Structure 1
Amino acid sequence: MRRRVAVAATGPSSLAAGQAVVAEGGNAVDAAIAAAVTSMSTEPGIVSLAGGAFVTVWPASGDPVLLDGNVVMPGRGLPREAFGGGVREVVTDYGGGVTMYAGHGSVAVPGALAACETAIARFGSRPWASVVEPAAAACRDGYPIGGAAARYLSIVADVLFGHDDGARTVTRRPDGSPFTAGDVARNTELAAVLDEISRTGASLLTTGEVGRALASEMVANGGLVTEADLAAYEVVVREPLRRAVGVWDIAVNPPPSVGGPMLAVMLGELARTGEPSWDDILRIQRAVLSYRVTVHDHSRDLEADGHTLLASVDRHGLAGLPTSASTAHISAVDSDGLACAVTMSSGYGAGVTVAGTGLLLNNALGEPELNRLGLHALTPGTRLASNMAPTVGRAPDGRVLAVGSPGADRITTALMQVLDQLCLQGADLDAAIRAPRMHVRFGRSGAALVEHEADPAIAAAVTRAGLPGLDHGDLSMYFGGVGAAYRDGAGGLRAAGDPRREAAVGVS
């Protein structure tokens, strides 16, 4: 019987890419990676091939694996005086007001494409060229601009992407006016790059021609990414953190990720509670996120401190806690039981391209929430902090899940609440994703604010906690965009997208 695959993608182009490789006999990893590469190629301003990614895979038999393709602090071989420059401050109205750094000095060493290539080499059933070709075709033939990209670009097109000829070309209509949702865009320069990537591999962006051009432009513009940084980049294979949530065995992103350990702590406390109320969810979020912003976000060794946190909470519960927003996610599960979850980010975007390639660069060094120690404070070669938490799970009756979300620091709280609904409350997959959400946010003063969707039970819990609340109304994009693929105990496949954000789902 032909293998079938459920895919939760970010839009019609990424879904079509995943389904194209399934039609050729591809499995869940082939489908997820084809969709991810296409998403990173056709959603300007949201994600980019020159960003970071995590790929979590749970084979039909065996243990889950995490492929860490996150961005890395650059600057190998540079003198100390080279650090601290090459950036411009950008103030935007996005997300209620975000201040960031852009420019060549905000660019970290990318690893997303290398992680995708590694996933295909280890777990795919189709050739690398097969999973890249749909992205090249979409860039050449045209792809629709989604609502999320159109909204973001309407805010930042001038202030962020208006300073570089290549960035302007990729983020606007040919006449220079802003994209609107449904516009058909093309990126023929990137299509040519993708054609070469399909032939020679992801190394084109590191030790190949594009990587050399990137390093050269960094030298000319005060950036830190060197040829030595690009040559030294490696995808790191990690063992995911696993937590029992009801009957489910859930595997999440391990340290040095920030999002994965925080999600693991939240899930562990949910499981201890059994059937958590909104009061419990608020209490857990408040404790974990308070710890994060006061301690973990200032860590100089995220891997060691992440494992210390987990060990302490495992022993003592929450009492043991020591005293981007631009992302995209793809989920896929196939009828054989193979699950793959991919979360990608290029930050808010550096506002610059590699000339002649149509390739937008990340601004991971310019995201204040991921660089609490300050601009360029990390040692070259250090993995940056990340909220990304692509998650996979299995239940004893044969159910399989791949799930994840964009949404900066709301990734962990969105997934916490969806997994609570699905694994502990027994909710249907779509109902679990549609259920209202809350997020405890801490301001610079350290005061907590409970942001939430319109729901009387949540509002009552906020009142009982004695905290200020902010009602975002129904189904706000602020609270993430969860995408899930699922195999039930009888082998049936489903995919579900979040009504809060664009999604395209299908089973083929």
Structure 2
Amino acid sequence: MLKAGGNAFDAICAAMLTAPLCEPMLTSLGGGGFMLAKSLGNAPTLYDFFVDVPPSRSKKKDFYPIDVDFGTTTQTFHIGRASIAIPGVLKGIYEIHKERGSLPLSQIVQPAIDLAREGLYLSKMQAHFVTLLEPILRSTKESEALFTDSSGKLIDHTHLFVNKEYAEFLENFAKEGDAFFYSGEVAKSIENLCKDRGGDLRAVDLESYKVIKRKPISFNFLDSTIITNPPPSAGGILISFALKLLEGKELQSFGSLAHLSKLIESMVVSAEFREQEINEHLHKVGLESLLDKQTLIDGYLQAYRNRVNLWGNTTHISVLDSSGNAASATTTNGEGSGVIVPKSGIMLNNMLGEEDLNPHGFFGWPSGVRLPSMMAPTMLLKGDSVEMVLGSAGSNRIRSAIVQSILNFNYFQKSIQASCSASRIHYERGDVFIEPGFEAAVVEAIKARYPITEFESHSLFFGGVNAVSGNLEGGCDPRRGGSVVVVKR
């Protein structure tokens, strides 16, 4: 799109339409997402097209658990018709293109149409995701038909993955716009999949869905201004809080005990902050103002200092163009519900079955609300110029991946690529998870304070940060098969 004369927003819309083909286990038009947009001379805007909680509540729910094995740890997700929330990705793409794109919609959809019709080979990383999610892919005959060959074997990197129904769907979308999906026959077919079959999604839910434009959270860190996703997403406010804890602290060198001990304790105190101040209040207007309450922050800073003293399926796209337009988009389908929209090649999400997004328990959110998320497309600004555009996949690990990448770039002065690929840690529910690449003595010091899970290699468990720097260099995360393209025209 950039080579054709389009802008960053054209490129990111085309990428979001193509991603469900290249990364079918990570994202879908049947999911949700966010995009942070910035143009020179204009204030940034956050497009919230994440999923809504359906108003209906079926008594008998098609809802059941599956375990995903990451190799060193496992995580349980729930799928089925009752796991489907109201999707927003397609409407988000349509509105972003309408407001900010420069090329016709028919041109934006064409690369995805060509790939869907002609087929493509998945990367080995994406083929691995197919294997991980096999129980979901085989949970319905429609999903199994899409993701297996004629012999019933799951597709892998040696199979040509073709999705002709997706190509036809996009052709109709280009002609009719978002109404093709959110009203009419497609919406009715989605209701037929769910109503009286254990699901809650209805045609009227799709027709009433709205993209919400929000003012991003903005705060200073070192010599940069950071802007990120505001509530009801929890990710942005937790990233902001963690960086406030770390600002002004001496971290010494990357991977040192000073660095990792302070980083871990910032994660511990952030988890306490989330539990005590955030989870119950995500839909309250002005929640981000908590970050301006110095007495509250000082209390957590003291808890942080006390702790430090004790030491002895989601995808992200970042685009920056030569005119200064910057776009940072994170989309997800969860792990997918297993339910395919008829004649579309689109799997619907399982957001109501992700424990990370449902801290009060499943089906605990009020009907009709925007589901909270950990996704946090983020930018670092210096004045009006963009210094870094980034975001990550990885569920609860999104916030720790973004915080560490910002520290790598802004504090440790690593290159944009090294900032994305450097070894990471993560704290969750009393345990520390750690990748290889840190000194043995530092790891032993961490073991003296926390139960630890050591990974044998860098893992997709720790997210997947993709970023662009202000000098038009890119950084991709090998954990999830990220890639960088620089277009010269």
Normalised by the length of structure 2, the TM-score is 0.90
State how far apart, in whole Å, the 2-side matches of 1:330 and 1:320 are.
33
State how far apart, in whole Å, the 2-side matches of 1:428 and 1:301 are.
35
- CA-CA distance at 1:133 after TM superposition: 1.8
- CA-CA distance at 1:431 after TM superposition: 2.0
- CA-CA distance at 1:459 after TM superposition: 1.4
1:411-430, Cα deviation, whole Å (9 max, x unpaired) = 11111011011112222212
**Is 1:459 matched with 2:443?**
yes
Structure 2 equivalent of residue 122 of structure 1: 99
**Is 1:66 matched with 2:53?**
no
State how far apart, in whole Å, the 2-side matches of 1:263 and 1:338 are.
24
8 A Cα contact 2:231 2:282, kept in partner: no
8 A Cα contact 1:452 1:458, kept in partner: no
Structure 1 runs, 4 residues or longer, greater than 6 Å off:
none
- CA-CA distance at 1:92 after TM superposition: 3.9
Taking a change above 3 Å as real, the CA distance of residues 344 and 411 of structure 1, as seen in their structure-2 partners, is same
- CA-CA distance at 1:94 after TM superposition: 4.5
Structure 2 equivalent of residue 434 of structure 1: 421
Structure 1 equivalent of residue 361 of structure 2: 374
**Is 1:191 matched with 2:173?**
no
- CA-CA distance at 1:237 after TM superposition: 0.3
**Is 1:289 matched with 2:271?**
yes
Q: More displaced, 116-125 or 183-192?
A: 116-125
State how far apart, in whole Å, the 1-side matches of 2:237 and 2:30 are.
25
- CA-CA distance at 1:259 after TM superposition: 1.0
**Is 1:251 matched with 2:227?**
yes
- CA-CA distance at 1:107 after TM superposition: 0.4
Taking a change above 3 Å as real, the CA distance of residues 40 and 463 of structure 1, as seen in their structure-2 partners, is same
8 A Cα contact 1:243 1:268, kept in partner: no
8 A Cα contact 1:453 1:476, kept in partner: no
8 A Cα contact 2:41 2:384, kept in partner: no
State how far apart, in whole Å, the 2-side matches of 1:197 and 1:358 are.
13
Once superposed, what is the RMSD of the aligned Cα atoms? 2.4
Taking a change above 3 Å as real, the CA distance of residues 89 and 427 of structure 1, as seen in their structure-2 partners, is closer
**Is 1:470 matched with 2:453?**
yes
8 A Cα contact 2:30 2:89, kept in partner: yes
**Is 1:494 matched with 2:473?**
yes
Structure 2 equivalent of residue 137 of structure 1: 114
Counterpart secondary structure, 2:86: coil
8 A Cα contact 1:48 1:361, kept in partner: yes
**Is 1:90 matched with 2:66?**
yes
8 A Cα contact 2:70 2:461, kept in partner: no
Aligned with residue 89 of structure 2, among 112, 136, 161:
112
1:89-146, Cα deviation, whole Å (9 max, x unpaired) = 3234356323222111110000011112221122221122221221111111112212
1:194-241, Cα deviation, whole Å (9 max, x unpaired) = 111111112222113212211122114221111221111100000111
- CA-CA distance at 1:278 after TM superposition: 2.0
1:370-427, Cα deviation, whole Å (9 max, x unpaired) = 1122222222211112111111222249453211111111111111011011112222
**Is 1:449 matched with 2:428?**
no
**Is 1:212 matched with 2:192?**
no
Q: Which runs of 5+ in 2 are unaligned?
A: 253-258, 304-312
**Is 1:335 matched with 2:322?**
yes
Q: Which runs of 5+ in 1 are unaligned?
A: 1-20
Normalised by the length of structure 1, the TM-score is 0.87
State how far apart, in whole Å, the 2-side matches of 1:101 and 1:362 are.
11
8 A Cα contact 2:40 2:385, kept in partner: no
Within a 5 Å distance, the mapping from 1:377-392 to structure 2 comes to 377-392=364-379
8 A Cα contact 1:30 1:120, kept in partner: yes
- CA-CA distance at 1:353 after TM superposition: 0.5
Taking a change above 3 Å as real, the CA distance of residues 317 and 507 of structure 1, as seen in their structure-2 partners, is farther
1:278-319, Cα deviation, whole Å (9 max, x unpaired) = 221111111102333x34674264444843643446852461
Taking a change above 3 Å as real, the CA distance of residues 315 and 59 of structure 1, as seen in their structure-2 partners, is farther
**Is 1:419 matched with 2:400?**
no
Structure 2 equivalent of residue 16 of structure 1: none
Counterpart secondary structure, 2:138: coil
**Is 1:350 matched with 2:328?**
no
Query: Which amino acid is the alignment partner of residue 480 of structure 1?
Result: G
1:235-271, Cα deviation, whole Å (9 max, x unpaired) = 0000111121222211110000011111111122222
- CA-CA distance at 1:68 after TM superposition: 0.2
Structure 1 equivalent of residue 176 of structure 2: 200
State how far apart, in whole Å, the 1-side matches of 2:479 and 2:139 are.
31
State how far apart, in whole Å, the 2-side matches of 1:182 and 1:297 are.
45
Aligned-pair identity in percent equals 28
1:147-182, Cα deviation, whole Å (9 max, x unpaired) = 33311221332x222132221122222321022224
- CA-CA distance at 1:65 after TM superposition: 0.6
Taking a change above 3 Å as real, the CA distance of residues 371 and 297 of structure 1, as seen in their structure-2 partners, is farther
State how far apart, in whole Å, the 2-side matches of 1:272 and 1:73 are.
40
Taking a change above 3 Å as real, the CA distance of residues 68 and 252 of structure 1, as seen in their structure-2 partners, is same
Structure 1 equivalent of residue 124 of structure 2: 147
Structure 2 equivalent of residue 10 of structure 1: none
Query: Which amino acid is the alignment partner of residue 27 of structure 2?
Result: V
**Is 1:224 matched with 2:194?**
no
8 A Cα contact 2:291 2:297, kept in partner: no
- CA-CA distance at 1:63 after TM superposition: 1.2
Q: More displaced, 40-49 or 312-321?
A: 312-321
Taking a change above 3 Å as real, the CA distance of residues 188 and 427 of structure 1, as seen in their structure-2 partners, is same
Would you say how many aligned residue pairs link Structure 1 and Structure 2?
Answer: 471
State how far apart, in whole Å, the 2-side matches of 1:290 and 1:432 are.
27
Query: Which amino acid is the alignment partner of residue 241 of structure 2?
Result: V
1:422-442, Cα deviation, whole Å (9 max, x unpaired) = 112222212222222111111
Q: More displaced, 295-304 or 164-173?
A: 295-304
State how far apart, in whole Å, the 2-side matches of 1:200 and 1:178 are.
34
Taking a change above 3 Å as real, the CA distance of residues 397 and 355 of structure 1, as seen in their structure-2 partners, is closer
